[in-house]
Chains A and B, each alone.
Chain A
Amino acid sequence: MLFNSFEFLYFFIVVTALYFFLPHKIRWILLLAASCFFYMFFKPEYILILAFTIVIDYYAGIFIEQQTEKRKKKKYLIMSLIANIGVLAVFKYYNFINGNITGLCNLLGFQNTIPYLHIVLPIGLSFHTFQAMSYTIEVYRGKQKAEKHFGIYSLYVMFYPQLVAGPIERPQNILPQLHKENKFSFDNALLGSNLIIIGLLKKMVVADRLAVYVNQVYHNLDTSTTLSAWMAAIFFSLQIYCDFSGYSDIARGTAKFMGYDLMLNFDRPYLSKSVTEFWTRWHISLSSWFKDYLYISLGGNRVSKLKWCRNILIVFLISGLWHGANVTFIIWGALHGVYVLMESVLPKITGQSPIIKLFGQLKVFFLVTVAWVFFRAANIDEALHMIRLMFSADFSLNLTQLAAGKGPFNLALTFLVIGFLMLAYFLPRDMQFKNIKTNITFLTATLFLLFILSKDAQGEFIYFQF
């Protein structure tokens, strides 16, 4: 079920109404049933994969807590990690690894006889396995008590607002909230409404509109020019931000309506003045996951400079691989790793002047935009073709090419929605308005914009595929 669908609107109204109608004791049953329904709306049979990891991690958590010896605790943790990573490996990486083996075999003159799996990637797999892993790791580290209530633990993994595209929550944040009784709160409902509406605007008005141009250019690189390639690259930077942060906003808003606080996942990342800062503002729940569970485990920055560089590169390469089983994602991750390393080596331009600030922001936007080309391209050839186009000097001003064959009307609408996105930067950071009148004006104006400017495509969220 997509957040940007009428089905979700009906679902949300019914589930939220029932939630407040039912006594606290049985609300978890409602939320769990709703989450199962939500997930099974995509592909019902894949709920079994979720059930498998839930059962394993639930018992792993209890067994880890029961053990007094660290060695035994570690044994259960490793079992849990193998189960989670194993599911990821089979469903997400098996065919990719097999494809590389085939390539290697061909190179050496052998034939690879290992069969390929004809499976569809379960939606949101990387998100919920990472959330499940964070639970067992935290229990192992003694920072979280094992959850004894199987239903509540299942809900921790499956809570529908963040099930398929995050934020990847930590048990310390979400488990206590799932036990707590929530009552309907005016403030929560208002903030929830604001977040849902701004999220829908980002997705349905901005991201889906930008996608028209971006897709058209990527599908017709032969007829694109330097200008249209740059426009597509920049539009994609904005599209993916609006698509993903829009999803996160809706997820947070939906949860907030019922009184649950999900973590902030995007904090105006394109205003960052360095790539390092960018990664503290972009997909925060994932970058902090990698920081807490991988980077620090590797030694973080309390090691020699050389090992630190290695740690940074490992984290970004795995982060790339987390996004998808494709060389393009690995290159995207590697590029970000190199950016961060370069920033630590090159002299910093410091100062509070607006020009220096702007220079930093433009630099980050440029670097990130170039890296997004690899993220968006279907394969490495397409990415390189796009990069060549961007850095060639074909500045022909043919309107058909400039509009990517979608007409000047579409291009005009694209710039219009980018204008709205710029305006959105003037909204309060926490989406809490000073007075109710301003809030009502915001909701009315945004709903009306949604009404007249949404795209009809009901496009899937980009991050669903991860």
Chain B
Amino acid sequence: MHKENSSISNFRKYVVNILLPVLIMVGVMAAAFCFLFEKYIILSNNNCGAYKINRIINLNDPYEIPIIGSSRAEASFIPEILGPNYFNYGLEGTQENVMLFFIDQECKKKNKRSPVIIANIDLDGINTKTGDIANYLYNSGNADVKKLLGDNYKLQYSIPFVKYVGQFENYLRYYLNNRMQLTKYSKDGAFIDKTVLPQKMIDDLIEYRRTHQDVFLHEESLKKEFFKTLNDNKDRYFVFVVPPYHSCYFTNYKNPEDAKAFLNELKTLSNVRVFDFSGIRYPDSLFINTTHLNFAGATRFTKEFKDSLATVKIANFK
């Protein structure tokens, strides 16, 4: 009996004198830190993935024309060239499952003046890749975000503050890049490298493509969902774009006919327009690697795309 009492009193002493004070103090400090961090770092920085996810869920601008897709969208489209209402929602490291999430969120908005949604298509098929978890943490309580993350959703993501452990650096890096604009162009969601690569590095990247095979391959269930979403949203007009690749990308490309067939399949939909720039050859100096343009490349491409976009003649879009 005596032992039990001693254990309990020791436990109580530990909880009251150590555990609670420490947890309360850390909790208060963490809460204050997170509040300031969310307000001044995450939400004030429009090139950050977390900002983009929050924006697509919560911002309802009837005039906004979203540009969605992977890092190739993020690094190819410069909204300020296209016009005042464009915003680049491109997210690095993501693929079509995330694109569908963005389309779903966008299509939920019922007061849109412009029906157009611009999306990039990568020539590696319709696949699942959710990207950096840091993009989703601010909205980790959102049911659609939880569904998107699926098995990647961990218990700690539902704990306030704790969910950010290990991620602050990510947000701060984006924030600093946005503020300083030393090596990146960062505006309206676009996040593009300004660097012009030395020829030696370009040559190495070209060599890499020569020795690695790229292939166009779908996840069939996701492809079905993709077409279903397009068909279910006939009140929207989807402009799918394949931004330029470095020519070496196709040196060892296994099945260009499948990629072409997919683009043709998209073209059969009445609410879809496809612009394929993959055949356009840009010089080496306009690429940061063999699949992404640099700022000079993105500027040239966006201007050319703007001309193409002018051929889209639908109601409420000019």
B30, A451: Cβ atoms closer than 8 Å: yes
Q: Is B229 an interface residue (CB 8 A)?
A: no
Q: Rank and list the top 10 A-B pairs by shortest CB-CB distance, nearest first.
A: A456-B166, A183-B7, A184-B7, A186-B10, A189-B14, A444-B25, A443-B22, A447-B26, A186-B13, A184-B11
A237 interface residue per 8 A CB criterion: no
**A52 on interface, CB distance cutoff 8 Å:** no
Asked whether B167 lies within 8 Å of A444 as measured between CB atoms, the reply is no
B315 on the A face (CB < 8 A): no
Are the C-beta atoms of B22 and A440 separated by less than 8 Å? yes
Binds A, one of B168-176, B206-214, B251-259, B263-271: B168-176
Shortest CB distance A418–B (Å):
16
Question: Which residues of chain B are within 8 angstroms of A436 by Cβ–Cβ distance?
Answer: 17-18
Of B7, B18, B30, B133, which one neighbours A439 at CB under 8 angstroms?
A: B18
CB distance from B18 to the nearest CB of A (A): 6
B29 at the interface (CB under 8 A from A): yes
- 10 sample A-B contacts, Cβ–Cβ < 8 Å, listed by A number: A10-B155, A183-B7, A440-B18, A440-B22, A443-B22, A444-B21, A448-B29, A448-B30, A451-B165, A456-B170
Whether, in the assembled complex, A190 has its beta carbon less than 8 Å from a beta carbon of chain B, the answer is yes
Inter-chain CA distance A185–B6, complex, in Å, is 8
State how many angstroms separate the Cβ of B55 from the closest Cβ of chain A.
Answer: 23
Q: Using a CB-CB cutoff of 8 Å, which residues 147-206 of chain A contact chain B?
A: 183-186, 189-190, 193, 204
Task: Point out the residues of chain A lying under 8 angstroms from B133, CB to CB.
Answer: 456
A455 touches B166 (CB 8 A): yes
Cα of A186 to Cα of B14 in the assembled complex, Å: 6
Given contact pairs A186-B10, A193-B18, A448 touches B168 in the complex (Cβ within 8 A): no
Contacts of A409 in B (CB 8 A): 169, 172-173, 176
Q: How far apart are the CA atoms of A444 and B133 in the complex, in Å?
A: 27
Most buried by A among B26, B166, B168, B172: B166
Which chain A positions have C-beta within 8 A of B155?
6, 10
- Chain A residues, Cβ within 8 Å of B22: 440, 443-444, 447
A444–B26 CA distance with the chains assembled, in angstroms: 6
A393 cross-chain contacts in B, Cβ below 8 A:
none
Instruction: Tell me, yes or no, whether B110 is within 8 Å of chain A by CB.
Output: no
Residue of B nearest to A458 (CB): B166
Interface of B is mostly: helix
B156 adjacent to chain A (CB < 8 Å)? yes
B224 in the interface, Cβ–Cβ < 8 Å? no
Kindly state whether residue A413 has any CB partner on chain B within 8 Å: yes
**Does A419 have its Cβ within 8 Å of any Cβ on chain B?**
no
Asked if A299 is at the interface of the complex by the 8 Å CB criterion, the answer is: no
Contact assessment for B3 and A183 in the assembled complex, using a CB-CB cutoff below 8 Å: yes
Indicate if B154 sits at the interface (CB-CB under 8 A).
yes
**A26 CB–B CB distance under 8 Å:** no
Q: Does A20 contact B (CB under 8 A)?
A: yes
Q: Taking beta carbons and an 8 Å cutoff, which residues of A are in contact with B?
A: 6, 10, 20, 183-186, 189-190, 193, 204, 407, 409, 413, 436, 439-440, 443-444, 447-448, 450-458
With contact pairs A6-B156, A189-B10, A409-B176 given, residues A454 and B21 touching in the complex (Cβ less than 8 Å): no
B33 within 8 A of A: yes
Chain A residues with Cβ under 8 A from B166's Cβ?
A: 204, 454-458
Most A CB contacts (10 A, CB to CB) among B17, B18, B170 go to: B18
Chain B residues lying within 8 Å of A184, measured Cβ to Cβ, are: 7-8, 10-11, 14
**Residues of chain B within 8 A of A413, CB atoms compared:** 169
The reply to whether A456 and B167 form a contact with Cβ atoms under 8 Å apart is yes
Name the residue on B nearest A222 (C-beta).
B204
| Distance of A457 Cα from B168 Cα, bound (Å) | 13
The answer for the CA separation of A451 and B26 in the assembled complex, in Å, is 9
Cα A105 to Cα B17 in complex, Å, equals 68
Which listed residue, B3, B11, B134, B168, touches A452 by the CB 8 Å rule? B168
B-chain residues with CB within 8 Å of residue A20 when the two chains form the complex: 7, 11
- Could you mark each residue 138-179 of chain B with 1 if its beta carbon is under 8 Å from any beta carbon of chain A, else 0? 000000000000000011100001000111111011001000
Cβ distance A415 to chain B, nearest Cβ, rounded Å: 14
Please, which residues of chain A bring their CB within 8 A of the CB of B8? 184
Quote the shortest CB–CB distance from A27 to chain B (angstroms): 13
Q: Which of B162-221 contact A (CB under 8 A)?
A: 165-170, 172-173, 176
Residues of A near B167 (CB, < 8 A) are: 456
Point out the residues of chain A lying under 8 angstroms from B134, CB to CB: 456
Most chain A beta-carbon contacts within 10 A, residue among B10, B22, B167: B22
Contact pattern, B 15-39, Cβ under 8 Å of A = 1, otherwise 0 = 0011001100110011001000000
Q: Which residues of A contact B30 (CB under 8 A)?
A: 448, 451
